[in-house]
Amino acid sequence: MTHSGLTISRWLLAAISSLSPFGVVIMVPLIPLLSVSFDRNISDLQYLISIYVIGLAISQPLVGMLADRLGKRPVLLSGFTLFVVSSAALMLATTLQQMIALRFLQAAGVGAGTVIARSMIRDHLAPDEALKAFALLTAAMGFTPVIAPVLGGLLATNGGIASVFALMAALGLLLLFWCLKSIPKEPAEVRQEQRVTLRGYRSLLGSSVFWGHACAFGFIQGMFFTLLSTGGALFNQQFGMSMTTFGGVWGVLSLTYVVGSFLISHSAKMGTPTWQRAAVMAMLVVSLSAPALLLFSGLTLVGILAPVACSMLLSGILTPATLYGSVNAIPKYSGSAAGLSSAVGMSMAALFSYLGALAYEYQPWMVMICFSGAGLGFVGCWYLTHPRALESQKRSSFEGP
C-alpha cells in the first residue's frame, strides 16, 4: 500500500483517540457520589470502570474488521453515534444495572476512534511521519488522565452526576460533526470482502511481529494500570496522602508520559533504532530498580515515585513505535491490526489491574513487583520483535571498544 499523505487533521485523529481514555478516567471521582446515590459498596461501582475496559477489548477487533470491509468513515460515524446516544441515555439511568449496560455501549462506540485513527495514520504516512503522528496520539491520550478527573469532579459537585454524562455526549457530538465534515469517503476498491478480512485476522494471529508489538504495548499499559487500580489506596493508607494530593501527584506522573510523546513528535532522532534501543535498556534498568529499592529500603514514597516517573517518561517515548509496529505488521490489514492490538492492550491492562489489586491485598509492597514484571515483559517482547538489535549488542560486547 502506498503512502499518499494524510489530508485529515492530526488533531482530529488525536481527539477521537483520546475520548476513549477520557471516558475511563472521568468516572473515578463519580464513584463515591454514586455509592451514596445507589446505596452500594465502592467495590460494586468499580464495574462502571471495568465494564468500559471490557467493552473496548471486545468491540475493537470487530471495529477493525468492519473498517477494512465497509470503510473507515461509516464505521467511525456509527461508533460515535452510538457513543452519543448511550451517553445521553446515561443521564436518565436510574439503576446501577442500566448504567453498566450503557457504559458497555459507550465503550463499544468510542473504541472506533482509537482503531480508525491508528489505521489511517499507517495507511497515509511514511514511517518517520507516522511515528510522529502516533506520538501526538499518545500525548493526547496521556493528557486526558490529567484533566478528566478534575472536570468530572467539578461537574458532579456543581451540576450533578448527569452533567458529566451531558459533557461526554456533547464532546461525542462535536467530534461526530467534525468527522462528518473532515473524513472523506473511501473508494469502493479499497474495501475488502468478508473472506479477505477473515483471512487477514488469521494472518495477524499467526504473525510473531504483530504479537511482539501488540504484547509490548499491552505490557506498557500493564505498568500504568497496576498503579491506577491501587494507587489511591496505596498512597493514602501507606503514606497518609489525601485523595486530592494523590490526584495532583498522578497528574504530574501522567504529564511525564506526555513529555516523552512530545519528544518523539518533535525529534526524528528519538525514533531511530539507536535511541529506541537506549530507551528500552533504560526501561530494563527502571524495571529492575523497583524491586532493588524495595530490597534495600523497603516500601518508601521515593521508591515508588522514582521508578514510576521514569517509566512514564520512557513509555511516552516507546509507545508510538509499538503502536506503529503492530498496525504495520501486515499493512493491507491495518484496520484489523489496529483493532486487535487495541484489544490486546486493553485485555492486558485489565489483567494487570486485577493482579495489582490482588498483590496489594496480599502485601502492599508486592504492587511494585507486579509493576516491575510488566516492565520486564515489555523489554522481553521488544527484543523478541527486534532480534537484530540483540545480535548487534552481543556482537559489540565481543568485539570490545
Any idea which of 67-81, 83-97, 166-180 has the lowest mean pLDDT? 67-81
Identify the pLDDT of residue 362: 81
Identify the pLDDT of residue 262: 81
Any idea which of 25-29, 167-171, 287-291, 306-310 has the lowest mean pLDDT? 25-29
Domain residue extents for the chain: 10-394
- pTM for the model: 0.76
Identify the pLDDT of residue 354: 78
pLDDT digits over 62-87, tens only?
888 888 778 888 999 999 999 999 99
pLDDT digits over 286-341, tens only?
999 988 988 888 888 888 889 999 999 999 889 888 888 888 888 777 778 888 88
pLDDT digits over 217-267, tens only?
999 988 887 876 666 667 777 888 776 677 677 778 878 888 888 887 777
Q: Given 1.20.1250.20, 1.20.1260.10, 3.30.70.3270, 3.40.50.1100, which CATH number is that of 10-394? A: 1.20.1250.20
Average pLDDT, the chain: 81
pLDDT digits over 371-396, tens only?
999 999 999 999 888 765 444 444 43
Q: What is the 3-state secondary structure (H, E, C) of the chain?
A: CCCCCCCCCHHHHHHHHHHHHHHHHCCCCHHHHHHHHHCCCHHHHCHHHHHHHHHHHHHHHHHHHHHHHHCHHHHHHHHHHHHHHHHHHHCCCCCHHHHHHHHHHHHHHHHHHHHHHHHHHHHHCCHHHHHHHHHHHHHHHHHHHHHHHHHHHHHHHHHCHHHHHHHHHHHHHHHHHHHHHHCCCCCHHHCCCHHHHHHHHHHHHCCHHHHHHHHHHHHHHHHHHHHHHHHHHHHHHHHCCCHHHHHHHHHHHHHHHHHHHHHHHHCHHHHCHHHHHHHHHHHHHHHHHHHHHHHHHCCCHHHHHHHHHHHHHHHHHHHHHHHHHHHCCCHHHHHHHHHHHHHHHHHHHHHHHHHHHHHHHHCCCHHHHHHHHHHHHHHHHHHHHCHHHHHHHHHHHHHCC
Most confident segment among 31-35, 37-41, 167-171: 167-171
- Please give the share of the chain, as a percent, with pLDDT higher than 90: 24
